[in-house]
A and B are shown apart, each in its own frame.
Chain A
Amino acid sequence: MQCEEFESRVNDLLDERRLLLADADLAAHASVCASCATIARGYDALVEGVAGWERVEPSADLTSRVLSQWELVKAQAAQSDSADWDSAELPALRPVGLQRMTTATPEEEGFWTVRRKRAFAGGTLAAAALATAAMLLIIGGVDRFRESNQDAANTIATPEVPGDEAVASSAVGISPATIAKSSVSEVQARQSAAAQFTLTSLPIVGQVTETYRPLLEETDRTVRKSFGLPATSGSGPTTGSALATTTTAQAEADDSAWDAYLPDQMAPVTQNAVRSVVALLRVLPGVDQPVHQ
């Protein structure tokens, strides 16, 4: 036997849960090679050390503690009535040491109550400070306005804004109701367009294999439901050809394309939704050309 084989042979024997002394070749080599004999001593010491480990037993009340916590988890799940309770966080475990010193939960409850009260008090103070600052700013602004206009006539003239003449003249003769009506119809038109538009019609989605299409369609339905958009009958263009390359700029363009179909007040929210979907697509395995920032 060569020295190079020695340690690997020792490992093989240990893997088979056999004693080192069972191998005659090892014994023969160790008797003539000091360095390999040292290696053998090391392994032997290790095995003996592990064999000397005491069997560690948990506390007698471990099972009852597990079951108590399990009941608590089940009760919480029933209370929250959540379908996704499997992924919910466990209730905080009270350290064993603390359990031995204290027996009941009220202390713990009390601790959280105090923390909540402190947090609430801090929030109230901050809100009061902000409100005071806002009041001071308003009062200061009004005073300055009065000072700057104290010499003017007791009428407030319409301020003239350079370059606004054309707008002003075009607006002449159109009643506020008409202007409001046109805004409403514009919003309605955009909402109608939004109803025809789906997340699955985004260009980047073209990269996704059919495997993920149900996921995307479900996401689309969820987003639509969350934002109060009408449901669509179709799911937009199907897979289509995979794009050769998709850049970050295009992903941004996707955002704005979706955004353009929606009422203004929905834009920030939907941008986030679309970004989430784009981010999801970037990490999905099977997408032909993942987008790298």
Chain B
Amino acid sequence: MPAEHDDQAEKIRAIVARCLAGETLAATELVDRFRQQVFGLAYRMLGQREDAEDVTQETFVRALRSLRSWDETRDFMPWLLAIAGNRCRTFLASRARRPRFASECDHLPDPAPSPAAIRTLAEEVELALRGIRAEYRQAFVLFHEQELSYSEIAQALGCPVGTVKTWVHRARRELIDRLRARDVVGEHSSAVRRI
């Protein structure tokens, strides 16, 4: 596993070097490699596909622009996700300043790509996620959906591992409280059955 990780890291370093040399193909490769992760985080943070795409686009342009500042001895993805997280928070702050009409529009649900794919619980968790603090949300998504380690999340958020753990634990607790308030928990009681 570490060997595979090193191999990946080496490949990314090579792509970055080609990007810095001005190779457009390398930039394409870099974007294609990480677009899903960045977009996934942005989507969970913002809850809107269009907004998430805008933030993803901005994240990549900013990353390409400041590639020289990436420390090659560290993982690339936490660095990239740190930029994405910052962009998301900036976006959320600007959204909060928008007129009421605009913010009401933001809360309209996205048109679902396929009604058959809707899962009530997943939607409820997604809805609950939008109500918690941005830091908790970001840490939770990075841990549970993106499956980053705590140390990688700490790098991405620029804070100690202990703080990240606290945020993830608080996020879980708040989400459960919200699910419980909407009577969602009782309907999905497989845990006890499992235990």
Which residues of A approach B to under 8 Å, CB–CB? 7, 11, 14-15, 17, 19-21, 26-27, 30-31, 37-59, 62-63, 65-67, 69-71, 73, 86, 90, 93, 95-97
Contacts and interface: CB of A to CB of B under 8 A. Distances in A.
Contacts of B122: 49-54
Contacts of A53: 122, 125-126, 145
A96 B186 CA distance: 39
A208 B191 CA distance: 61
A152 B160 CA distance: 87
- Of B53, B57, B62, most A-chain CB atoms within 10 Å: B57
Contact of A48 (B35, B40, B173, B190): B190
- Of B27, B187, B194, B195, most A-chain CB atoms within 10 Å: B195
Interface of B is mostly: helix
- Of B126, B165, B176, most A-chain CB atoms within 10 Å: B176
Interface of B: 24, 27-28, 31-32, 35-36, 39-40, 43, 49-50, 52-54, 56-58, 60-62, 64-66, 69, 113, 117, 119, 121-122, 124-126, 144-145, 147, 150, 165, 168-169, 172-173, 175-176, 179-180, 184-192, 194-195
B37 to A, nearest CB: 10
A42 B179 contact: yes
Nearest to A54: B117
Nearest to B113: A54
Contacts of B53: 58-59, 62, 96
A157 to B, nearest CB: 64
A49 B190 contact: no
Interface of A is mostly: helix
A51 B144 CA distance: 9
Nearest to A31: B195
Nearest to A37: B192
24 contacts: A14-B172, A15-B168, A20-B191, A21-B194, A30-B195, A38-B185, A42-B180, A44-B188, A44-B191, A45-B187, A45-B191, A46-B175, A48-B188, A49-B124, A51-B122, A52-B125, A53-B122, A58-B53, A66-B31, A67-B24, A90-B58, A93-B57, A95-B50, A96-B49
